[in-house]
């Protein structure tokens, strides 16, 4: 009986940690009969690109804020 309880707990808890990413959304979108999950409907290519690009590098920093390290 305990084996069945553990098996059921593993089966039902496995789907709760599943997350979607952009490649999954692209694969789902290719299939015409698939239902788009909420995570894929809210996916915006421009927002994803902004998150991917490091925009902090483009900010102007003062000379006091920049720390340089030299290998000796």
| pLDDT tens-digit map of 22-71 | 667 777 777 878 787 777 767 677 777 777 776 556 566 677 767 777 77
Query: First CA to last CA across the chain, in angstroms?
Result: 65
Domain membership of residue 13 (yes or no) is no
The dihedral of CA 4, 6, 9, 12: what is its sign?
Answer: negative
Q: Which domain holds residue 37?
A: 18-44
Domain membership of residue 36 (yes or no) is yes
Domain membership of residue 6 (yes or no) is no
Whole-number Å distance between alpha carbons of 26 and 48? 13
Of 50, 46, 48, 47, the C-alpha closest to 22 is: 48
Q: Tell whether pTM > 0.75.
A: no
Which pLDDT score, from 0 to 100, does residue 32 have?
A: 77
Domain membership of residue 72 (yes or no) is no
> How many structural domains comprise the chain?
1
Phi, psi of 46, deg, nearest 5 = -65, -40
**Residue entry with tokens 């994803």:** 48
Domain membership of residue 9 (yes or no) is no
């Amino acid at each position: 009986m305990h084996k069945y309880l553990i098996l059921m707990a593993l089966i039902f808890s496995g789907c709760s940690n599943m997350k979607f990413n952009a490649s999954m959304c692209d694969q789902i979108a290719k299939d015409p009969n698939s239902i788009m999950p909420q995570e894929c409907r809210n996916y915006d290519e421009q927002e994803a690109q902004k998150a991917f690009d490091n925009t902090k590098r483009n900010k102007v920093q003062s000379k006091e804020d920049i720390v340089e390290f030299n290998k000796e």
